Structure 1
């Protein structure tokens, strides 16, 4: 009898490449977020509030009225074309004075029977000296500012708040989600199954990339809403000056978020319970909150903004604002971006080491020194 051929044992499936593994984890992160009703609803609410805020702010900025001042036919030309004055025509001098008396205007500019110097008119107020109006109507030398900003102060404030709020909400929302996801996987022991199939750093990379894609999609949607809202409100001048800063903001936010995402993942790996997340993520939350507060209080301070634009955690907010205000040379955004990228790479190295050394440690919170030392 002839010998029977030996049965062929199927070879085990080849392990996926690192790139394939990263993409699988990324898909897992994207799918879990997009299937979450809470995430979808909160995102829609955020976009709706952003649209309402942009339209309301733009309309408020365009409807700012000046000081109400009554004028007659003889004095109407005195205040014509002056910003900050809302001229109210009166049929006569007596009618103008009556408007001052009943409080419908702050003051009146009427002909003067006994003119003083070059002024053939006088200012009539009710019970307080109208210093602002006097200063505006006084003859003074022409003033030219070498470093003047063409942007309206209200629009500047709105842009500053917009950049600050978007960075704060997106970074804190997705950063906190990453930390909670890591702790949840530790509690349920899912992480042990995951790292049995893929390296720890691949798992971290997939988490960071997945949440970065979601955060960038949110940023792009907010940028589109901001532009559309300004166009609807008739603020076309603001839109023309906002295109470049929005592009720079997106680029800075990309690297700034990757930096924070790696640190949030590391912070989540250092604890084993959801209740303990705050103890490791609070310092990161403060780093996100600080640029928001600083840009609100110091948006008109060039020195503070200049310093903030080179600090990695505040550069995504401060540098685009300075670009919008026209306060930067061409090389400054490039230098600031290089500093941010270098810091981002350092944060990834530190975060991955802490993440790798803390992920399988259960129980008490892992101290940072122990996590770094392994």
Structure 2
């Protein structure tokens, strides 16, 4: 059961009151064995996944290629290739188009190296590195990005946002209802204003959520460095930094609404009746980015919708689809929405917190007469 903090003196400022509540929220989570164990498991699983993925990418040898007779000399001493001999360039292009090989090496008189690589939508990086000198690349169907890598990055951003937002959002909701159910809230608001109590709860849980995000980012950097994936790390650095910034304001938005929604009920078993719409908003970006990670239109829309921008915009930055000004505009929209959500949530929280018994309707919660 939650215990009220020591009653502050009459001269306590709003900032001191917010920090008092935030410190209480942080302390209660860090003393919870369930929270500590679940966090440790999450971090270890993330580290194992990053290291495994890095080594799997590094060990991806045996690139299947087609080679014409007049180009065999260029790949004779190159290791890590599965060579299929073909009659001519036409046969080599047919093998690439059919998917039998990832690329083809053909003689090319116009190339200073004497040969060229023929690929479908993108040239295998492993092959280009193994050839030591990068030859001209002819793409039959040009396409940006690596679909498999893009999918993995989409899963990463989506899962982290989903887990962190749902975990801490649910924690805030349970804390609010527990304090109402046990009447602890009456002691709390006799010491500090209701809005100070809300601000402290949001800030305390935001600190914990951001700490997890930063640790996960550090794990990604360490894991990719250990496995030698420096090129991928350079490509992910900017999007990860933007993800942290967007997540900060996105979480504050959601945390305010979760606390407000929970204040409308007085029993733990009724929490779902008011927080389900918010849970759906948290889950939506995950499923959208999983199913539409290769759809520029859907990602563009997601990057400007406040609830999905923390996932959509970093994903577009990773794919190179966003202009330099787009994350700034999207962040401005998110911050404006965040301010509006805080004001709305504070009103609902203040009008519903001391109302016991049945569920408070949204109209009553928004009405000053409902206080």
Counterparts in 2 of 1:228-267, with a 5 A limit? 228-267=222-261
Q: Among residues 132, 146, 151, which one is paired with 2:99 in the alignment?
A: 132
Q: For this pair of structures, how many residues does the alignment match? A: 331
| 2:91 paired with 1:87 | no
Contact 2:304 2:330 in 1 (8 A): yes
Contact 2:253 2:337 in 1 (8 A): yes
Where does residue 160 of structure 1 map in the other structure? 154
Where does residue 311 of structure 1 map in the other structure? 305
Decide whether aligned partners of structure 1 residues 109 and 311 sit closer, same or farther in structure 2, where only a CA change above 3 A counts.
same
Q: Among residues 12, 17, 20, which one is paired with 1:24 in the alignment?
A: 20
Counterparts in 2 of 1:277-296, with a 5 A limit? 277-296=271-290
Contact 2:64 2:103 in 1 (8 A): no
- For 1:34 and 1:268, the matched residues in 2 are separated by 22
| 2:52 paired with 1:56 | yes
- For 2:288 and 2:317, the matched residues in 1 are separated by 17
Decide whether aligned partners of structure 1 residues 131 and 177 sit closer, same or farther in structure 2, where only a CA change above 3 A counts.
same
Decide whether aligned partners of structure 1 residues 64 and 304 sit closer, same or farther in structure 2, where only a CA change above 3 A counts.
farther
Q: Which structure 2 segments of 5+ residues have no match?
A: 1-7, 107-117, 119-136
Question: 1:63 deviation in Å?
Answer: 3.7
Q: Which has the larger radius of gyration?
A: 1
- For 2:92 and 2:242, the matched residues in 1 are separated by 51
Decide whether aligned partners of structure 1 residues 361 and 119 sit closer, same or farther in structure 2, where only a CA change above 3 A counts.
closer
Tell me the alpha carbon deviations over residues 250-297 of structure 1, each in whole angstroms, 9 at most, x when there is no partner.
110000000000000011101111111111111111101110111111
- For 2:90 and 2:194, the matched residues in 1 are separated by 83
Decide whether aligned partners of structure 1 residues 131 and 371 sit closer, same or farther in structure 2, where only a CA change above 3 A counts.
same
Where does residue 212 of structure 1 map in the other structure? 206
Tell me the alpha carbon deviations over residues 78-99 of structure 1, each in whole angstroms, 9 at most, x when there is no partner.
87799xx9415xxxxxxxxxxx
Question: 1:302 deviation in Å?
Answer: 1.1
Decide whether aligned partners of structure 1 residues 81 and 333 sit closer, same or farther in structure 2, where only a CA change above 3 A counts.
farther
Where does residue 332 of structure 2 map in the other structure? 338
Contact 1:57 1:158 in 2 (8 A): no
- For 2:324 and 2:164, the matched residues in 1 are separated by 28
Question: 1:64 deviation in Å?
Answer: 4.0
Tell me the alpha carbon deviations over residues 313-363 of structure 1, each in whole angstroms, 9 at most, x when there is no partner.
000001011111111111100100000000000100111111111111111
TM superposition score normalised by structure 2: 0.81
1:87 aligns to what SS in structure 2?
strand
- For 1:119 and 1:134, the matched residues in 2 are separated by 14
TM superposition score normalised by structure 1: 0.80
Question: 1:14 deviation in Å?
Answer: 3.3
Decide whether aligned partners of structure 1 residues 71 and 327 sit closer, same or farther in structure 2, where only a CA change above 3 A counts.
closer
Question: 1:70 deviation in Å?
Answer: 8.9
Tell me the alpha carbon deviations over residues 199-250 of structure 1, each in whole angstroms, 9 at most, x when there is no partner.
1000000000000000000000000001111112221101111111111111
Question: 1:13 deviation in Å?
Answer: 5.0
RMSD: 3.2
- For 1:46 and 1:81, the matched residues in 2 are separated by 45
Moved more, 291-300 or 153-162: 153-162
2:99 aligns to what SS in structure 1?
helix
| 2:251 paired with 1:268 | no
Decide whether aligned partners of structure 1 residues 109 and 296 sit closer, same or farther in structure 2, where only a CA change above 3 A counts.
same
- For 2:197 and 2:59, the matched residues in 1 are separated by 52
Counterparts in 2 of 1:178-197, with a 5 A limit? 178-197=172-191
